[in-house]
Amino acid sequence: MPTLERDELLAQLGGYLERAHTGFGTFVFLDGEAGAGKTTVARALAEIAGAKTLVLTGHCDPLSTPRPLGPLRDMAADSDSGMGDLAGPDDRYEVFSEVLARLQHSIRPILMIIEDIHWADAATLDMLTYLGRRIGNTKALVLTTYRGDEIGPDHQLRPVLGDLLTKPDVHRHTVEMLTTDAVRTLAGDRPVDAETIHRVTGGNAFYVTELLVTDGSVPPTVQEAVLARVGRLDEEARAAVEAVSIAPRSMEADHIKSLVGTPSAAAERALHAGVLVGDERGYRFRHELARLAVEDAIPDPRRVDYHRRMLGVLASSDDTARLAHHAIETGDPELILEFAPRAASDASRRQSQHEAVRFFAATHPHVDAMAPLERFRFLDEYQRSLYSVDNQATAGKIAVEMLEIAYHLADPLLLGRAHRTHSRAVWLTGATEAANKEAKKALEILEPLGDSEELVLSLRICAHNEMLDRRYRTGMAYCRRAVDMAERIGFGTEHAMAILTMGTLELVNNDVEEGIRLLERSIELGKQAGAPRVENVAYGMLGTGGGEVRVYERALDWLDSGIALDLAQDHDYGVAYATAWKARIKCEQGKWDEAVALAEEVATYDASVARISPVTALGALGRVRVRRGDPGAEKALRQSIDLGETGALQHIWAPLCALAEMYWLQNKPEKAIELLEEPLRRVLTTDTVWGRGEIAYWMWRVGGLPQVPDNLAAPFEMMITGDWKGAAAEWNRIGCPYEEALALSEGDTEAKFGALEIFDSLGARPAGQRLRRLLREAGIDSVPRGPRKTTLENPAGLTARQAEVYDLVGRGLSNGEIAERLFISQKTVEHHVSAIFSKLGVATRSEAIALTRENEG
Amino acid sequence: MPRYLVERTFPDGLEIPQNDVGAAMIARVVSNNTNEAVTWVRSFVIDDRTKTFCIYDGPTPESIRRAATSNGLPIDSISEITVLDPYFYIGG
């Protein structure tokens, strides 16, 4: 096992070894719980010690009658140790002084490792005391390891520790638990959640490595190790340990008594043996993994019985999560139905959606026992939590179940709700057509019944769908009906949401500032109505809508605000989509490295996650590759388009245009025309000026636009109608350098040179090459060369100039003298010198000079 | 893992001394590459040392770019490549 995070410890121990060389010995107690990695550290030290050190190793064993001086016998058995003849003498003090003499007079320094001294026999403990007091003028490092958590107050090691630790040259070090980062490193490429593993194992190195090779169940090796420890306890203590193992966290002392009837001293004994630890409530296991190991080993009938009885013990408790845990463990459908749904609702209310989903999921197999209406409400809550944690696949299945019940009950209000819920779930899996049909169905069923909350919700969903498809007029019409009805019946939350939808429609199709105003108003209305989540959704709309209409700086702020809110509430769906949009904005701003980093966060498609996130992220990644001329562009863009094909056009017009751009740069305009034909027709049936503008522009670019459509975003329209100057100025104002350069490329020679500068500074190789070719073909000379590549800092090799400077530094010249010699400025010399230093890994001039001496010699 | 060909231009000419200093530089490049799971396979350097053609293995072109930035290396272009060897066809 690699020695993660142990470098500092090993460095210190290595330092003691160094001192041993010169005749100054050290005695070390190395403390660490079982599985922490003490043996690994000891072995690593032995390796560092190498051949020039004599390494002696001995072990203490948990035998019922330990061998006297057992570790010494281990060393004696090793023929290289020179300790062979020590096993003989009966007088132990003679033995001790002989050992000491060997440590003092050895030619090579000695590393003596004695492991597990918490199991040491009395004679060995005496020897350690003897040696520890006299270690100072030996040539040895004596390294002992022990489990500090397993030695109770009366353990025989305690007085030895107490005595020796006050002496000079005796030190205690601890092998700490691994951090989450170390777990991540150990996990490598494995698809595991490092945080969960760390939580369950407490960072215990042994548990971590074992858990990494299993599929998540308790590894048999861990179970054996844990049960072995428990097995060493007396019967009462073992019973107490079993009782504690069934609690999700810790168990109070009297509960243990109620459950297994043991006196409180029994749990205390388990505490002293290191199997349990105490906390403010009672007793628990040090590591979750150990708890699972013990619980798993309890035969099922007894285990289930414990859980059942715990429910009685906890009868007056209001900790619904705890009660639900026990109910679920009994496997009894009645008990589960009694306790789990409550815990799920509580968790959901607290915005602990992952926890809520666990409880919902545990209850779901038994829902048939619920009355249909109750079942419907349960499923409704369940799918809402699923939606929050972005598990859209399961949410969809639950929505279908809701539909079945609603039809069975033939209740129009429930039907309306079920269709609406199903509409959303279906939309999130990317099937927009189907989603729209569902939403309209809900409307059909509910309209005849007059004003109702369900009708408001359905109207708003239809408005939402029109907004998604960028249909301004029809969308606004639904919004107004929803707003009016919501106000009439006093449905505060939906009033806010309808205003939010109106704002979004305005923002992306019509009046940007009016849209922002409405969206900000919706946040207020949401707070007034006691629906704080409106704020999250509003930031999402402001951020993504703002990105679409290219008010970038404000959009990024809104996206960040939304992400912060969502993270605090376990709402994964919002975070992924907002991050993907940040990637897209950064791409359009020409900040390509940032765009890639953000896209990479999102771009792995998990089958249950809302598709629009990877569609957007892959679109941004693909576009960066197209513009840089890097490989993998088509692959990323095709993936994005495939994922988003059944969805709303607004999500895929960017990757479609990026692919068209790629064909244009590759001189395959006919492929671009074929690609954009249908999307162009579709987008022209909608009201989004930016979507119409971008698709129309690229169609024009490749020669496939018969006439200029109306209602296009200004800079795109200007480019198509030949106003390259106006377009460039507008792109510059908006902050899209690449598009600015595209516009300038259509201008006069000076403008074209300006475009080249921008393309070069962005690293847009294909566009730059194309423009250069056009200029050459037009007979224009003095085309500026590419950027001076040495503007990049610190190339790995010394450049010729730097080699010159280095040479003069080596000859002892000052920076000023070098500047004179080479006819360059002193500032330039200083720049070169600092670059040289960092390449050589030196910090001072004298070090650098020393290096040149080495090289010459 | 895909293989990439990276073209680089060093207007002042690439200088890597044939000694400890050069070896240390190379070692640092290799070490920084591992942070991005990038492996430098081999480079071809033209006569006046102003251009190199470098073969790399890496997960994505962006990882190649990040590794290059951390090592201060310029990039003209990145292409994904496969090997074509006459012996595949002529056989033996």
State whether residue A841 sits within 8 Å of chain B by CB. yes
Confidence at residue A604, expressed as pLDDT on a 0 to 100 scale: 54
Please tell me the number of Cα atoms within 13 Å of A533 on its side-chain side: 13
State whether residue A824 sits within 8 Å of chain B by CB. no
Backbone angles phi, psi at A113, to 5 degrees: -110, 125
Closest CA–CA distance from residue A507 to any residue of chain B (Å)? 34
The share of chain A scoring above pLDDT 90, in percent, equals 51
The share of chain A scoring above pLDDT 70, in percent, equals 93
Q: Which two tokens stand for residue A365?
A: 């197999």
Given a contact cutoff of 8 angstroms between Cβ atoms, the answer to whether A25 and A169 are in contact is: yes
Confidence at residue A784, expressed as pLDDT on a 0 to 100 scale: 67
B29–A796 C-beta distance less than 8 A: yes
Length of chain B: 92
Given a contact cutoff of 8 angstroms between Cβ atoms, the answer to whether A657 and A680 are in contact is: no
State whether residue A798 sits within 8 Å of chain B by CB. yes
State whether residue A803 sits within 8 Å of chain B by CB. yes
- Residue B15 parent element (H or E): strand B14-15
Q: How confident is the model at residue A831 (pLDDT cuts 50, 70, 90)?
A: confident
Can you tell me the mean pLDDT for A603-630? 85
Closest CA–CA distance from residue B85 to any residue of chain A (Å)? 22
**Helix %, strand %, coil % of chain B (to 5):** 35, 30, 35
**Three-state SS at A26:** strand
Q: Compute the distance between CA of residue A644 and CA of residue A694 in angstroms, rounded to an integer.
A: 18
What mean pLDDT value characterizes chain A? 87
The Cβ of residue A332 has, within 10 Å, a number of other Cβ atoms equal to 16
Q: What is the DSSP pairing of strand A798-799 with strand A283-285?
A: unpaired
Query: Strand pairing partners for A426?
Result: none
Q: Compute the distance between CA of residue A350 and CA of residue A340 in angstroms, rounded to an integer.
A: 15
Of A632, A795, A799, nearest to B80 by CB-CB distance is: A632
Residue A834, C-beta contacts closer than 8 angstroms, at least 6 positions apart: none
Residue B17, C-beta contacts closer than 8 angstroms, at least 6 positions apart: A798, A803, A855
Of A628, A786, A797, nearest to B14 by CB-CB distance is: A797
Of A632, A786, A797, nearest to B61 by CB-CB distance is: A632
The Cβ of residue B17 has, within 10 Å, a number of other Cβ atoms equal to 15
Confidence at residue A853, expressed as pLDDT on a 0 to 100 scale: 63
Residue A591, C-beta contacts closer than 8 angstroms, at least 6 positions apart: none
State whether residue A850 sits within 8 Å of chain B by CB. no
Of A631, A790, A851, nearest to B21 by CB-CB distance is: A851
**B19: closest chain A residue by CA:** A855
**Three-state SS at A204:** coil
Of B12, B24, B75, nearest to A790 by CB-CB distance is: B12
Query: Considering only CB atoms, which residues of chain B are within 8 Å of chain A?
Result: 2, 4, 8-17, 19-22, 24-26, 28-29, 60-62, 65-66, 69, 71-80
State whether residue A47 sits within 8 Å of chain B by CB. no
Confidence at residue A849, expressed as pLDDT on a 0 to 100 scale: 72
State whether residue A840 sits within 8 Å of chain B by CB. yes
Confidence at residue A799, expressed as pLDDT on a 0 to 100 scale: 61
Confidence at residue A795, expressed as pLDDT on a 0 to 100 scale: 41
The Cβ of residue A51 has, within 10 Å, a number of other Cβ atoms equal to 7
Q: What is the DSSP pairing of strand A798-799 with strand B14-15?
A: antiparallel
Q: At what angle do helices A7-21 and A38-49 cross, to 10 degrees?
A: 40
Residue A389, C-beta contacts closer than 8 angstroms, at least 6 positions apart: A353, A354, A357, A570, A571, A572, A573
A801–B12 C-beta distance less than 8 A: yes
Judge if pTM exceeds 0.90.
Answer: no
Q: For A718-728, how does the pLDDT look when each residue is reduced to its tens digit (9 = 90+)?
A: 999 999 999 99
Closest CA–CA distance from residue B58 to any residue of chain A (Å)? 12
Q: Compute the distance between CA of residue A731 and CA of residue A734 in angstroms, rounded to an integer.
A: 5
State whether residue A857 sits within 8 Å of chain B by CB. no
Which residues on chain A are in Cβ contact (under 8 Å) with B79? 631
A792–B14 C-beta distance less than 8 A: no
Q: For A178-237, how does the pLDDT look when each residue is reduced to its tens digit (9 = 90+)?
A: 888 888 888 877 777 788 888 888 888 888 888 887 766 777 778 888 888 888 889 999
Residue type, A750: E
**Three-state SS at B78:** strand
- Residue B56 parent element (H or E): strand B51-57
Which residues on chain B are in Cβ contact (under 8 Å) with A789? 8-11, 74, 76
Alpha-helical regions (H) of A490-511: 492-509
**B67: closest chain A residue by CA:** A796
Closest CA–CA distance from residue B90 to any residue of chain A (Å)? 30
A600–B62 C-beta distance less than 8 A: yes
Confidence at residue B58, expressed as pLDDT on a 0 to 100 scale: 94
- Residue A388 parent element (H or E): helix A372-388
Q: Compute the distance between CA of residue A666 and CA of residue A765 in angstroms, rounded to an integer.
A: 12
For chain A, what is the total number of helices (H) and then of strands (E)? 44, 8
Q: For A680-712, how does the pLDDT look when each residue is reduced to its tens digit (9 = 90+)?
A: 999 999 999 999 999 999 999 999 999 999 999
Q: Compute the distance between CA of residue A693 and CA of residue A689 in angstroms, rounded to an integer.
A: 6
Alpha-helical regions (H) of A22-150: 38-49, 70-77, 92-105, 122-134
Size of interface A-B (CB pairs under 8 A): 92
Q: Tell me, letter by letter, the H, E, C secondary structure of A538-577.
A: HHHHHHHHHHHCCCHHHHHHHHHHHHHHHHHCCCHHHHHH
Q: Compute the distance between CA of residue A25 and CA of residue A132 in angstroms, rounded to an integer.
A: 10
Q: Tell me, letter by letter, the H, E, C secondary structure of A566-622.
A: HHHCCCHHHHHHHHHHHHHHHHHCCCHHHHHHHHHHHCCCCCCCCCHHHHHHHHHHH
For tokens 């025309």, name the residue.
Answer: A673
The CA radius of gyration of chain B, in Å to the nearest whole number, is 14
Which residues on chain B are in Cβ contact (under 8 Å) with A855? 17, 19-21
A632–B72 C-beta distance less than 8 A: no
**Cα A418 to chain centroid, rounded:** 34
Given a contact cutoff of 8 angstroms between Cβ atoms, the answer to whether A314 and A327 are in contact is: no
Q: Which two tokens stand for residue A9?
A: 């410890």
**Cα A444 to chain centroid, rounded:** 44
Higher pLDDT, A796 or A358: A358
pLDDT tops 70 at residue A42: yes
Confidence at residue A790, expressed as pLDDT on a 0 to 100 scale: 41
Q: Which two tokens stand for residue B18?
A: 């044939």
Given a contact cutoff of 8 angstroms between Cβ atoms, the answer to whether A253 and A280 are in contact is: no
B15–A630 C-beta distance less than 8 A: no
Q: For A360-410, how does the pLDDT look when each residue is reduced to its tens digit (9 = 90+)?
A: 999 999 999 999 999 999 999 999 999 888 788 899 899 999 999 999 998
Q: For A432-468, how does the pLDDT look when each residue is reduced to its tens digit (9 = 90+)?
A: 788 888 888 888 899 998 898 889 988 998 999 899 8
For A261: left if phi > 0, alpha if psi spans -120 to 50, otherwise beta; the answer is left
Residue A615, C-beta contacts closer than 8 angstroms, at least 6 positions apart: A580, A640, A643, A644, A647, A651, A652, A655
Given a contact cutoff of 8 angstroms between Cβ atoms, the answer to whether B61 and A625 are in contact is: yes
Q: Compute the distance between CA of residue A232 and CA of residue A749 in angstroms, rounded to an integer.
A: 88
Exposure letters A234-264 (e unless 16+ CB within 10 A, then b)? eebbbbbbbbbbbbeebbebebbbebbebee
Closest CA–CA distance from residue B71 to any residue of chain A (Å)? 6
Closest CA–CA distance from residue A696 to any residue of chain B (Å)? 30
State whether residue A681 sits within 8 Å of chain B by CB. no
Which residues on chain B are in Cβ contact (under 8 Å) with A856? none
Nearest to A76 by CA among A63, A93, A89: A89
Q: Which two tokens stand for residue A310?
A: 């715990």
- Residue B40 parent element (H or E): strand B39-45
Q: For A793-822, how does the pLDDT look when each residue is reduced to its tens digit (9 = 90+)?
A: 334 456 667 777 877 887 778 888 888 777
Q: Which two tokens stand for residue A517?
A: 């105003």
Alpha-helical regions (H) of A763-841: 765-777, 800-810, 815-822, 826-840
Q: Tell me, letter by letter, the H, E, C secondary structure of A265-279.
A: HHHHHHHHCCCEEEC
Closest CA–CA distance from residue B89 to any residue of chain A (Å)? 27
B65–A593 C-beta distance less than 8 A: yes
- Residue B53 parent element (H or E): strand B51-57
Which residue of B1, B49, B56, B77 is the best one to mutate when testing the A interface, meaning the one whose CB has the most A CBs within 10 A?
Answer: B77
Which residues on chain B are in Cβ contact (under 8 Å) with A790? 10-12, 74
Q: For B31-63, how does the pLDDT look when each residue is reduced to its tens digit (9 = 90+)?
A: 889 888 899 999 999 999 899 999 999 999 999
Q: Which of A8-22, A52-66, A131-145 has the lowest mean pLDDT?
A: A52-66
Given a contact cutoff of 8 angstroms between Cβ atoms, the answer to whether A676 and A703 are in contact is: no
ipTM of the complex: 0.88
Q: Compute the distance between CA of residue A130 and CA of residue A774 in angstroms, rounded to an integer.
A: 89
DSSP single-letter state for residue A393? H
Which residues on chain B are in Cβ contact (under 8 Å) with A761? none
Q: Compute the distance between CA of residue A142 and CA of residue A160 in angstroms, rounded to an integer.
A: 15
For tokens 């023929």, name the residue.
Answer: A79
Q: Compute the distance between CA of residue A636 and CA of residue B86 in angstroms, rounded to an integer.
A: 32
Of B16, B61, B78, nearest to A797 by CB-CB distance is: B16
What is the spatial order of strands in the sheet that A140-146 belongs to?
A: A54-59, A110-115, A140-146, A26-31, A170-174
Torsion A713-A718-A720-A724 (CA) sign:
negative
